[in-house]
Structure 1
Amino acid sequence: MSPDALNSLFALCIGFALAGALASGYQAMAARPAGFGLLGEGVAPKTFAAVPFLVFAAPFIIMRNTLRGAKIERRRFEFVMMATVLSGFWSMMSGTFFLMTLRAAGVLT
């Protein structure tokens, strides 16, 4: 495996782990699962605070909703695969951003 592929895989894993940790932490604090409905509460400070949270928690939310929809609504394989690819790409990008931030802060070399 090339170093670039390994770096992308690591960013993907970090992105999914970060998304899962954020969504689980939100669920523990708010006693309800995180979702994109946080944006539909009108113009309020907590709606603006939800945007950065959802940017990093979205891969977990997308996969959770997709897998639940596949079981409950019997969604087609193509839809599930498309959502999985979207979630994976989003996770890789947020993981890359997180790793770049850690490197800039001097935590990683």
Structure 2
Amino acid sequence: MAMSEGLVFAFVIAVGFVTAGVLSSFVQLVSGQPMRFFVEHRSLAASIGSVLLRVLAGPEILMRNAWRGMIVEKRPQGWFWLASGIAGFWSLLIGCLLIDILLNV
């Protein structure tokens, strides 16, 4: 029974991280620049949409920055693993939210 719970857990994390990656890649395709956590101040609706988009794409942004920090900026690997844990938990939350929404539609 524990193996199937672990697979569900991994599936939910994967759903969250893939969603983050697809959204981030789509924004980069449209805008030509990778997503950042910085939010530009525009209209209220655009700012709210921008924040929601960054909440959903956050794990990918965090992992890209952590990878770059480890490889290019030579930061200690501990920071990379800490960011990986945070991104994994964040992906779990996003995956739970999306699966809950899909199952209740």
Map 1:1-109; keep pairs closer than 5 Å: 1-37=2-38, 39=39, 41-42=40-41, 44-45=43-44, 46-105=46-105
Name the amino acid aligned to 1:30: S
Aligned length: 103
Question: Partners of 1:73 and 1:47 in 2: how far apart?
Answer: 31
- Deviation of 1:43 (Å): 5.6
Could you list the runs of 5+ residues in structure 2 that have no partner in the other structure? none
Name the amino acid aligned to 2:82: M
Question: Partners of 1:3 and 1:33 in 2: how far apart?
Answer: 36
Question: Partners of 1:83 and 1:8 in 2: how far apart?
Answer: 19
Question: Partners of 1:80 and 1:25 in 2: how far apart?
Answer: 25
Question: Partners of 2:102 and 2:5 in 1: how far apart?
Answer: 18
Question: Partners of 2:104 and 2:27 in 1: how far apart?
Answer: 27
Could you list the runs of 5+ residues in structure 1 that have no partner in the other structure? none
Question: Partners of 2:43 and 2:76 in 1: how far apart?
Answer: 37
Question: Partners of 1:19 and 1:43 in 2: how far apart?
Answer: 23
Name the amino acid aligned to 2:85: V
Name the amino acid aligned to 1:87: A
TM superposition score normalised by structure 2: 0.91
More off after superposition, 42-51 vs 61-70: 42-51
